[in-house]
Amino acid sequence: MKLLVTDAGSTVEEAWVNRSPEQYRETDDIYDAEVLSFLVERILLGRDVCFPTRPSVEPDKGPLLVHHVVGHARSNDDE
């Protein structure tokens, strides 16, 4: 990930995603950007944001998907 740091904060200028189908099956750049945004907002900044799930994911499978992708998804401030 490449950040542009200014006096007002930081902006992600560029991010890279592993597209090896043996390691990562996702191919949607927009969804990957949403996941990256979630990771920054939730884990780095500690904000209470929802994980981006697609409409096709059954509601009871959502927590399993979050755990599969990001583990516990808590900021360092959470106890």
In this predicted model, what pLDDT tens digit does every residue of 21-79 receive, in sequence order? 999 888 999 999 999 999 889 888 889 998 898 888 888 888 888 888 887 655 455 55
Nearest to 38 by CA among 12, 76, 65, 73: 73
Q: Please return the burial class of 42, using the count of CB atoms within 10 Å of its CB with bins 0-12, 13-18 and 19+.
A: buried
Give this prediction's pTM: 0.75
* 52/38 Cα distance (integer angstroms): 7
Give the length of the chain: 79
Contacts for 56-61: CB closer than 8 Å, 24+ residues apart: none
